[in-house]
Amino acid sequence: MNKETRMCENELRKDIIIHDVKLEITARKVGEGEWELSVENELGIRSVWLEFFATAQTALDAGMKAIELEGVEPFADREGFEYMFQDRGVYQAH
């Protein structure tokens, strides 16, 4: 598993590759002591948590834990998003 972490004032990002699937975990500051968590796959499909976290690192840790517990498949799944890729030739039916 490859990992790369980048930090700026209001955002902390971690890129990971698991089983040839690239995911970007992002903690974005939305208020004082409130960080939003999202996990985006290489197609731009993003999962966003409804809860906020006290720190950027807590948010990233929650994202990593979700990937470890659920596996990479739920975050890489295209089901329900086929319409986004049919015209671009990206989507391939299984």
The domain locations on the chain are: 2-84
Tell me: the pLDDT tens digits for 78-88?
Answer: 665 555 556 55
- The distance in angstroms from the start CA to the end CA of the chain is 26
Q: Of the ranges 7-16, 47-56, 71-80, which is most confident? A: 47-56
| pLDDT of 91 strictly over 50 | no
pLDDT of residue 93: 46
Q: Per-residue pLDDT averaged across 59-73, rounded?
A: 94
The mean pLDDT of the chain is: 83
Which residue has 């006290």 as its token pair?
A: 54
pLDDT of residue 29: 96
Which residue has 């974005």 as its token pair?
A: 28
